[in-house]
Structure 1
Amino acid sequence: MASQQNNHTHQINFLAMNTRVTNPSCFTVVLFSITLVLAFAIRSLRFKKPKGQLPPGPWGWPILGNLFQMVMNQPAHLWVHRFMEDMHTEIACFRFFGVHVITITSSEIAREVLRDKDEALADRSESYSSNLISDAYKDINFSPYGEKLKLMKKVMTTKLMSPTTLNKTLHDRTSEADNIVTYVFNQCRLGSTTKPVNVRDVALTYCHAVMMRMMFGQRHFDKPAKDGGLGPKEKKHLDAIYRSLDCFFSFKVTNYVPFLRGWNLDVEEAEIRETVDILNKCNDPIIHKRMQLWRNEGGKETEEDWLDTLITLKDDQGMPVFTLDEIRAQCKDMNVASIDNTMNNVEWTLAEMLNHPEILEKATNELDMVVGKDRLVQESDIPQLNYIKACSRESFRLHPANALMPPHVARQDITLAGYFVPKGSHVLVSRIGLGRNPKIWDEPDAYKPERHLDDICARDSTGVTLMEPDMRLVIFSTGRRACPGIKIGSSMTFMLLARLLQGFEWKKESQVELIAADSNLFMAKPLLAYAKPRLAPALYPKMQI
């Protein structure tokens, strides 16, 4: 990352995806530090014999368990899945210091975790990064299960993500869908189709602009960019969001050894401090100014965005529901949550289509039949675009943004698939384990959107969606930790993909390398492809800033 920043000063350094390289000297420091503190910690640790049989797992060291193997096998998610394949098991148990980590690749067991026993598994794990991003666990994603979480989830589902609110903000989303088409059109015109378009840049620009409009009611922090993209402060804000994503989905020593947090033994600690500081410096002036407006100056005539809603909510006694810290935490949470799925899915989908021209042609033909070429596709058209939705769903199956779902923590002793799972265990459902499970999917490594069309016929369904009640794949979580933004996330993903396919012919000089990064499952290199306008010039709208 440092080399990118040196070579591309003041440019969008989120455009390149680098594999995070593990530093052996860091391992040495970590293990040495553990050794030093073990003498003090061992007396306070009381390892009890499990009350039942744990799921199968690798041999571990006394006290440390599998911590050493985890450190020496980064990225650890590859090691975890390798072990499960070698053991021919769909549930496994790893012990990192005093924490049992249970990993799952079976749809049946996933249903146990996310549906049948989700209340017993509704807590979240603590980590250095989640503590910082959530202002000490005050947001909806990382807060412990309890009344406050229930209240925040109710607010998200009935206020921020309600059909009424989404309908009211439709204009904002449509404006950004128009803007992103114009942004690409301008690149085609200026480059005369000789310069490839960075698809990741396009997707991130769209995601960030939509998030800003809906949360803060404005596209920019400061002055708008001349080319219709993001300005310098927006790029810095987005880069911080992008870099922070890796910090939440990784196996790190400090996630399991709390007394080592804050010692700077992990390079990610410095990075997450920097990224959270950037997010706060960008968000806080808007939040403080808006709170002053609503709580001291009488407010506005109507609530216009998510921030207005968070600030103005009152309880039965007429007091504000959320504190400043809770609002700050929720804004950062939505910053991060609104980026990865849409960006990752659209980039991978277009990459797969470029390698399968017949699929790309079929998708554009569907758009021409349903929408035509004399108007731009709208959100209201999405229900009829089943093939395009099937392409998106197939990419979510084959190329999720992260290998594993965020940890669900056992609030009590339970059993899963007949195995004992102790209280405090971290339970991780594997996205790639489900999505590429040969027991679930025929030809699991092949990109075949038609399989999802067959599903809706078999189930007599009205259309393709990103929901999966049988847990054959997991896109958005379900149960008490369900993502409240399923509808908006789905709409953003489908709209961006449909607009890019309708507005442009996409080509690549050679086969796209479908290689995922190690630290997450984003494409290892940003997708660069040539775009040529396929609609009448008058249909490409003017930039709305």
Structure 2
Amino acid sequence: MSVFPVISVSAAVAILVFLLLKRFTRNTQYRLPPGPKPWPVVGNLPHLGPVPHHSLAALARTYGPLIHLKLGFVDVVVAASASVAAQFLKTHDVNFSSRPPNSGAKYIAYNYKDLVFAPYGPRWRMLRKISSVHLFSAKALDDYRHVRQDEVSVLTRALASGGSKAVNLGQLLNVCTANALGRVMMGRRVFNDSRLGSIDPKADEFKSMVVEVMVLAGVFNIGDFVPALEWLDLQGVASKMKKLHKRFDAFLTEIVEEHKRRSSDEQSDMLSTLLSLKEIDADDDEAKLTDTEIKALLLNMFTAGTDTSSSTVEWALAELIRHPKVLSQVQQELDMVVGKDRLVSELDLAQLPYLQAVVKETFRLHPSTPLSLPRMATESCEINGYHIPKGSTLLVNVWAIARDPQQWSEPLEFRPERFLPGGEKESVDIRGNDFEVIPFGAGRRICAGMSLGLRMVQLMVATLVHAFNWSLPEGLTAENLNMDEAYGLTLQRASPLVVHPRPRLSAHVY
């Protein structure tokens, strides 16, 4: 009898056993988090729906707080609870400190030359340090306190000059934040003073550009997840991004070139500092700061630092109008601390705990970035007993975490008292250490401008509430005020807040 068939059968059995063992081992050691079954080619992209942070929150109620999706050919994990987010952004923060490739960074943000989307590494650390020291340090914030107060005073005068006429509040807030940033970054206003009925046309164009950035950046572009289809640009996203980039680049190039033409001997703004660093480090290729990187930083500041703050203030005022008892209590606190003969200053904010609680509650219910900017796993790791493959994209559902009924009582209700002494979350802060509410993110990639954003939002909310009483247009009640969200990377209102301001302080204040 020939031994060849016996050897063949033995080999086949051995191979079969090996494959079964390998499969068993893979399933036990490399168990992916649960999630919906993907479709062919596009994977779970159809599951994201028109408002992804809502759809992902619904999926988390079915599959749990850690979900695995397949978007095209990309592994994506979604964190939808405070404990899971903490594991990613605290325990495994270093591993998730880089960004995945995406068309927004490629076509709008100067091909990853900015701070927000730059890969984690020496160049990113250099850009982060420059921003932290020269724009967002405590000293820099204190030095430019008067600028923010000046611009909020301009906004107040503009509102008071209208004789209680209805205003599109978001439009005026956007001009205010852009001009405050402009004076800090380049020593001058970006737009002409706001007066009701005569908004600088450039301001309208700027706001539309920023909103378009946020809308396009919020699109889950098929080309990012199915590389073979990228060249087709099936959704037209890449084409729109390229056109928008040209508009922004022209805007920023004009700012930089005009600034270079001005005498810089007495200038102490951020752009002067960036240009001086460029000259100082011109012979050091490692530290050399290019014009492109300078424009990319300015792009970050103008897009991330304007509409996020103005839209948060818009949400806050909408909530206060819907909750007149809360509004009355904030005004009482302001009247006691500030009085009625002057405007609020930033130095007053520390003495306004209820106002701070209102701002916290607004950030909880209406986080400016409801779905975190994506991060990427540098190496494989394990979270909650599940395998997270190398190269996976991480999304943190900030919006869902802040509405988690296991963490918050009556999570859909606007209740600032929850952050006051005796409240359920009195010790919880929003600066990235308490993961129940992380509107600015957490870890190494936390929003660089968090401190500036908090100051600006608190000052604007305090001033608007202190200086004016507010009413809605005729026929509109607080109960039927539209609180729907618009689609995009940032949490815009679906319909702008149109309101009537009525001065409530001494006439000379305005």
Smaller-chain TM-score range?
Answer: 0.7 to 0.9
Matched to 1:304, the amino acid is S
Return closer, same or farther for 1:132/1:364 CA change in 2, 3 Å cut-off. Answer: same
Could you tell me whether the CA contact under 8 Å between 1:183 and 1:228 is conserved in 2? no
Local SS of the residue matching 1:261 = helix
Could you tell me whether the CA contact under 8 Å between 1:387 and 1:453 is conserved in 2? yes
Matched to 1:179, the amino acid is V
Question: Which residue among 442, 452, 461 is the counterpart of 1:497?
Answer: 461
Local SS of the residue matching 1:454 = coil
Matched to 2:509, the amino acid is L
Could you tell me whether the CA contact under 8 Å between 1:398 and 1:447 is conserved in 2? yes
Matched to 2:167, the amino acid is V
Deviates more, 1:505-514 or 1:484-493: 505-514
- Does residue 166 of the first structure (1) align with residue 141 of the second (2)? yes
- Does residue 427 of the first structure (1) align with residue 394 of the second (2)? yes
Q: How far is 1:317 from its partner?
A: 6.1
Matched to 1:386, the amino acid is P
| CA distance, structure 2, for counterparts of residue 492 and residue 226 of structure 1 | 20
Return closer, same or farther for 1:171/1:249 CA change in 2, 3 Å cut-off. Answer: same
- Does residue 131 of the first structure (1) align with residue 100 of the second (2)? no
Match of 1:253 in 2: 222
Deviates more, 1:94-103 or 1:210-219: 210-219
Local SS of the residue matching 2:96 = coil
| CA distance, structure 2, for counterparts of residue 273 and residue 64 of structure 1 | 24
Q: How far is 1:216 from its partner?
A: 2.0
Q: How far is 1:90 from its partner?
A: 0.5
Q: How far is 1:390 from its partner?
A: 0.7
Match of 1:388 in 2: 355
Match of 1:84 in 2: 60
TM-score of the aligned structures, taking structure 1 as reference length: 0.82
| CA distance, structure 2, for counterparts of residue 384 and residue 203 of structure 1 | 24
| CA distance, structure 1, for counterparts of residue 316 and residue 200 of structure 2 | 27
Q: CA deviation digits over 1:297-356, x for unaligned, max 9?
A: xx6224421111111123496787310111111111111111233122211111111111
Match of 2:502 in 1: 532
- Does residue 361 of the first structure (1) align with residue 361 of the second (2)? no
Match of 2:450 in 1: 486
| CA distance, structure 2, for counterparts of residue 370 and residue 235 of structure 1 | 36
Could you tell me whether the CA contact under 8 Å between 1:128 and 1:262 is conserved in 2? no
- Does residue 216 of the first structure (1) align with residue 191 of the second (2)? no
Match of 2:244 in 1: 275
- Does residue 54 of the first structure (1) align with residue 32 of the second (2)? yes
TM-score of the aligned structures, taking structure 2 as reference length: 0.87
Could you tell me whether the CA contact under 8 Å between 1:466 and 1:490 is conserved in 2? no
Q: How far is 1:80 from its partner?
A: 2.3
Question: Which residue among 514, 519, 522 is the counterpart of 2:492?
Answer: 522
| CA distance, structure 2, for counterparts of residue 292 and residue 476 of structure 1 | 36
Matched to 2:349, the amino acid is I
Q: How far is 1:368 from its partner?
A: 0.2
Matched to 1:267, the amino acid is G
Return closer, same or farther for 1:117/1:455 CA change in 2, 3 Å cut-off. Answer: farther
Q: CA deviation digits over 1:170-200, x for unaligned, max 9?
A: 222111011010111112x2xxx3x322221
Q: Which residues in structure 2 correspond to 1:461-472 (within 5 Å)?
A: 466-472=430-436
Could you tell me whether the CA contact under 8 Å between 2:56 and 2:397 is conserved in 1? no
Matched to 1:120, the amino acid is N
Could you tell me whether the CA contact under 8 Å between 1:249 and 1:402 is conserved in 2? no
Match of 1:151 in 2: 126
| CA distance, structure 1, for counterparts of residue 111 and residue 161 of structure 2 | 43
Match of 2:384 in 1: 417
Match of 1:321 in 2: 288
Match of 2:15 in 1: none
Could you tell me whether the CA contact under 8 Å between 2:175 and 2:203 is conserved in 1? no
- Any unmatched runs of 5+ in structure 2? 1-25
| CA distance, structure 2, for counterparts of residue 262 and residue 347 of structure 1 | 39
Deviates more, 1:403-412 or 1:265-274: 265-274
| CA distance, structure 1, for counterparts of residue 423 and residue 266 of structure 2 | 41
Return closer, same or farther for 1:502/1:226 CA change in 2, 3 Å cut-off. Answer: closer
Q: CA deviation digits over 1:256-296, x for unaligned, max 9?
A: 12343353422333332232222111110221243466xxx
Question: Which residue among 276, 286, 306 is the counterpart of 2:255?
Answer: 286
Q: CA deviation digits over 1:197-245, x for unaligned, max 9?
A: 2221222121222122222221136x66665964222321222112111
- Does residue 398 of the first structure (1) align with residue 336 of the second (2)? no
Match of 1:65 in 2: 43
Deviates more, 1:119-128 or 1:503-512: 503-512
Local SS of the residue matching 1:95 = strand
Matched to 2:461, the amino acid is L
- Does residue 307 of the first structure (1) align with residue 271 of the second (2)? yes
Match of 2:12 in 1: none
Matched to 1:54, the amino acid is L
- Any unmatched runs of 5+ in structure 1? 1-48, 294-298, 541-545
Matched to 1:141, the amino acid is V
Q: How far is 1:64 from its partner?
A: 4.0
Local SS of the residue matching 1:209 = helix
Matched to 1:235, the amino acid is D
Q: CA deviation digits over 1:139-167, x for unaligned, max 9?
A: 11000011111111111112221222222
Local SS of the residue matching 1:180 = helix
Q: How far is 1:468 from its partner?
A: 4.4
- Does residue 477 of the first structure (1) align with residue 447 of the second (2)? no
Could you tell me whether the CA contact under 8 Å between 1:351 and 1:527 is conserved in 2? yes
| CA distance, structure 2, for counterparts of residue 242 and residue 339 of structure 1 | 10
Return closer, same or farther for 1:521/1:163 CA change in 2, 3 Å cut-off. Answer: closer
Could you tell me whether the CA contact under 8 Å between 2:178 and 2:190 is conserved in 1? no
Return closer, same or farther for 1:484/1:218 CA change in 2, 3 Å cut-off. Answer: same
Match of 1:265 in 2: 234
| CA distance, structure 2, for counterparts of residue 415 and residue 151 of structure 1 | 30
| CA distance, structure 2, for counterparts of residue 312 and residue 455 of structure 1 | 51
Structure with higher Rg: it is 2
- Does residue 197 of the first structure (1) align with residue 167 of the second (2)? yes
Match of 1:109 in 2: 84
| CA distance, structure 1, for counterparts of residue 240 and residue 154 of structure 2 | 32
Q: How far is 1:113 from its partner?
A: 1.2
- Does residue 244 of the first structure (1) align with residue 216 of the second (2)? no
Deviates more, 1:118-127 or 1:224-233: 224-233
Match of 1:333 in 2: 300
| CA distance, structure 2, for counterparts of residue 316 and residue 280 of structure 1 | 23
| CA distance, structure 2, for counterparts of residue 63 and residue 348 of structure 1 | 39
- Does residue 98 of the first structure (1) align with residue 65 of the second (2)? no
Return closer, same or farther for 1:197/1:227 CA change in 2, 3 Å cut-off. Answer: closer
Local SS of the residue matching 1:531 = strand
Matched to 1:138, the amino acid is K
Local SS of the residue matching 2:68 = strand
Percentage identity across paired residues of the two chains: 29
Local SS of the residue matching 2:95 = coil
Could you tell me whether the CA contact under 8 Å between 1:133 and 1:332 is conserved in 2? no
Matched to 1:497, the amino acid is V
